Every structure is written in structure tokens, then in C-alpha cells.
Amino acid sequence: MTSRSSRIRRRIGEYSRRDLLIVVLPLLAILIAGFWGASRFIQPAPPGKLVLSSGGEGGAYQRFAAAYADFLGRYGVRLEEKPSAGSIENLARLRDDSFEVDAAFFQGGTGEAREDEELRSLGAFFYEPLWVFYRSALAPASGKLDQVLQLKGKRIAIGGEGSGTRHLALEILRANGIEPGNTTLVDKGGLGLVEMFDKGDIDAAFVVGPTQSATVWSLLYTEGVRLMSLAQADAYTRQLPYLAKIVLPRGAVDLGRDLPSADVTLVASVATLLVREDTHPALVDLLMQAAGEAHGGAGVFQKPGEFPRATADAFALSKEAERYYKSGKPFLQRYLPFWAATLIDRLVVMAIPVFALLVPIVKFAPALYGWRVRSRIYRRYGELKFLEAEVEDNPTPEQRQAWLARLDAIERDVNHIPTPLAFSDMLYTLRAHIGLVRAAIVNRPTTGA
């Protein structure tokens, strides 16, 4: 064991540390530069928390936020919900760098993208119908109200400040010439509308949200309150292109009670999630999967698989959402736990450029080291060649002694050249050639002094 160790030490000692450093350090610097370059593109590990700005109490946004929280919890990500007045406040929060939020619900038509916009859409998630409820006593004896203009001069609840409901309600009322000067507009929304109808504080209310909204559901069952079927729905979709005409079928809410008792025509915007551009891609992937589970089924206004879909309104579709609509769940997440899939995905980003550099480095390093060793031997050959050329002249005894002294110096230098075993043949050949030149000098006749 001792002899083997000594042989290994001797063999290692044959390599010049200086040569190794000269060869290895530049290549190591290139490799480190490759690591650094790759690190500029790799994302940090996904955070364990996602902050979502939802909506008002009793609204669908809060209901869906709870569904998302359940889904994300399965992957070890905690969803922190921050209630808001609605879509407009959500948009303001996303644009405020000082506000901690990663994603927010957004109602189509309540905002436009800026030129330097850093927000991205995740596509169309679900319809948000505009429901116009009114007190039954307002209906004429001949039938029901079917035009918004018939509410002129009444007390109308249009949703709270900062809500998407208020924005859309004002658009619809303005189209009908209804303004604060000729009608009482009440900035109220949510479940409190039921009590306001009961007390007679309002005559009508605009509500935006899917049928799952607690506010919508409560008003549909409130005695003395009716739902308006919009006779001019097509006209609204022409004036406000972000709206779509939809129909609530007879009995779709409650077959037993035949609610509604006839088909109801509504207009609807499409809801989505907006995310900041720097939201971690792994969290966006999870949000897309959560949306598929929460919104992918059948509903009153949709068929199975209709939502979510790759439709971008005012905001561009995010890259992660676009990839999800094309390929579905990320490949690694289909077979590995979330943490393992994201870890491997990050490591691959690092590994590709590193291996791209490592392979040529491994091939190039031995050749470079060999060139360093050979260059020292070739340099001595050069010195030997110059000396041999001088010997061709007729030497004097003094010149012969000088030449032999120079040759001795070359030989001593050669004997101390650190040479690996692989290059020993070149070293011994050089020594043989030194002997030939020595013999030539000794045997060369000299001229007299």
C-alpha cells in the first residue's frame, strides 16, 4: 500500500503545478462565467405563499379564491386572500409596487393596458353576467320591465366605489341617458342589497357576478324582487364590445320552483386573473391548474371545458398561460411532486450551459497542457539548434570550452524539466540529441590560437 502511494505521489509530482494552474485557471474562469450567465436566467425557488386580491363579501371572487386556496394547499403553497371593492381596486393594487400582491381577479372592460404594462392575463375564466334586479311594484300591470331606461328617476344601487359592477353599471346607464342629475345612484353592493330592498331604500340594483355569487343567489330568491330580461342586449354588445349576450334558461336556477319562470336575456363580461410579470412562473402554472379545476365544469352559462380559454382582452396573455393552453400541465409535474419538478426544472437551466462548456473544456484541457510541456522541450531544441550551427565554423579551443559550457547548462536545464510519463520519449530523445551535439563539439578539430 505504501509503495503504491509513493508511486502515485511520484507520478503526480511529475506534473508542473505552474502548468496546471496556467491551464486550469482560465478554463475554470470560463466555467464559472458559464455558471454566472446561467444564473441570470434561472428563477429562484417558488415562494410558499401567493397573495391574491379577490373581491367584496359574498361575491364570486371570494368563493373562487377559497377554491384556489384548497388547490394550492395540496402543493404546499399558502394562498393569502386580500378582499377588495372589486376589479378596479384590484387593478390599482397590481399597478402599485408598494402593495404586496401577486394576482388579482379582473372583470373584462374595467380597464385598459398601458404602453409599458407589466401585467399579464391568464385568459378567460368565467362569465360575469350583469344582473338588473328591480322591485316588483315597479312593473306595469301589463308585464315586466325589460329596458334599463324604465329605471330613470328611480333609486338604483350601482355597486361600491372601486368595483367592476359600478364601472359597468355607469356605462349602461350612461348609454340610456341616466345620470346622477336625473336619477338617484347609490354606491352600494354586496349582500346588503337584500336588506335595502326589504326596507324600500332602493328600487333597483345592478349586480355583476356568476350565479355562484351569494349576492346574486340571495336576490333571485328574495320576495318582491324581479330579474330584468334585457330586450336591448344586442345593442349593448355593439356599443360595448367586451360584453356578450347570454341567456339564463327557464328553470336553470331552480327547476322545482321554475326559477326563472321564463328565459332571461343578459349581457356579460368575462372574468380573468391578472398577474404581475414578475410573479413566479411555477405559481402561475399552479393558478392555471386551479382555474381548470374550478371553472372547467358545466354551468348555467357554459358547457364543460369551455373555460378557461386562451382569450386575452385588454392585457396580453402570459407566457405560462399560453404554454398551459397548448400543452396542459407541465411535463415534470405530471410525474413528480411539485417541489421536485420545480427543482429539476431550475437545475436543467443551469446544467445545459454548463455541460455545453464542460465538454469542450474537458477535451481542450489535455491538449493545452500537452502543448505547454512540448513547448519547453521545443525551446531547448531551438537552443541546441543554434549551438549546432555555431559548431559548423572552425572552432578555437576557447570557443569549444564555451560551447561545452553552454551545452552543460542546456543539459542541466533539461534534467530539471517536469515531464509527465506520457512525454518521456520526447525528453529521452532530446537527451540523446544533446549527446550527439556534444560528440560533434569534442570531435571537431580546432584551429590554432
3-state secondary structure of 330: coil
- 46 DSSP assignment: P
Position 398 confidence tier, pLDDT thresholds 50, 70, 90: confident
Q: Name the residue with cell 486550469.
A: 24
pLDDT at site 34: 63
Q: Are 357 and 30 in contact (CB under 8 A)?
A: yes
Predicted local confidence at residue 445, as pLDDT: 73
Average pLDDT over residues 162-166: 91
pLDDT score recorded for residue 16: 58
| Mean pLDDT calculated for residue range 428-436 | 83
Residue 27: Cβ within 10 Å count? 17
Would you say the C-alpha torsion 177, 179, 183, 189 has a positive or negative sign? Answer: positive
What local confidence, expressed as pLDDT, does residue 434 receive? Answer: 81
Is it the case that residue 215 has pLDDT exceeding 50? Answer: yes
Q: How far apart are CA 376 and CA 382, in angstroms?
A: 10
Q: What angle do CA 276, 53, 120 make, to 5 degrees?
A: 25
266: helix, strand or coil? strand
Please tell me the distance from the alpha carbon of residue 73 to that of residue 68, in angstroms, as a whole number: 8
User: Which neighbouring-strand residues pair with 128?
Assistant: 269
Q: In this prediction, what percent of the chain has a pLDDT beyond 70?
A: 81
**12: pLDDT strictly greater than 50:** no
For the chain, give the number of residues. 449
Report pTM.
0.67
Dist CA 398 CA 16 (whole Å): 37
Q: Are 193 and 207 in contact (CB under 8 A)?
A: yes
Q: Is 427 or 213 the better-scoring residue by pLDDT? A: 213
Tens of pLDDT, residue by residue over 87-97, are 999 999 999 99
- Who wins on pLDDT, 19 or 424? 424
Which DSSP letter does residue 254 get? B
pLDDT band at 391 (very low <50, low <70, confident <90, very high): confident
User: Is 287 exposed, middle or buried (CB count within 10 Å of its CB: 0-12, 13-18, 19+)?
Assistant: buried
Residue carrying the nine cell digits 336576490:
219
Q: What angle separates helix 281-295 from helix 338-391, to the nearest 10 degrees?
A: 150
Taking the C-alpha atoms of residue 415 and residue 412, their distance in angstroms, rounded to an integer, is 5
- What CA–CA distances, in Å, run from 17 to 22, 278, 361, 385, 414? 9, 47, 19, 29, 17
158 pLDDT exceeds 50? yes
List the domain boundaries for the chain: 2-36+351-443
Is residue 291 very low, low, confident or very high in pLDDT (cuts 50, 70, 90)? very high
Find out whether 103 and 74 touch, Cβ atoms under 8 Å: no
pLDDT at 13: 47
Pairing of strands 204-208, 264-276: unpaired
Check if the beta carbon of residue 41 is closer than 8 Å to that of residue 345. Answer: no
Say if strands 244-248 and 264-276 run parallel, antiparallel, or are unpaired: antiparallel
Mean pLDDT is lowest, of 27-36, 113-122, 171-180, 324-333, for 27-36
Q: Which of these, 150, 156, 128, lies nearest to 232 by C-alpha position?
A: 150
Higher pLDDT, 174 or 14: 174
The whole-number pLDDT of residue 27 equals: 65
How deeply is 323 buried, as exposed, middle or buried, from its count of CB atoms within 10 A (0-12, 13-18, 19+)?
A: middle
Residue listed under C-alpha cell 404586496: 100
Alpha-carbon dihedral 104, 105, 108, 114, rounded to 10 degrees: 0
First to last CA, the chain: 63
Least Cα distance to 279 among 79, 51, 40 occurs for 51
Q: How does strand 126-135 pair with strand 264-276? A: antiparallel
pLDDT the model gives residue 54: 94
Bond from prior residue into 418 cis (ω within 30 degrees of 0): no
C-alpha cell read off for 104:
388579482
- Average of per-residue pLDDT across 272-277: 94
Spell out the alpha helix ranges (H) of 392-423.
397-415
Radius of gyration of the chain (CA): 41
- What are the pLDDT digits (tens) for 97-133? 999 999 999 999 998 888 888 999 999 999 999 999 9
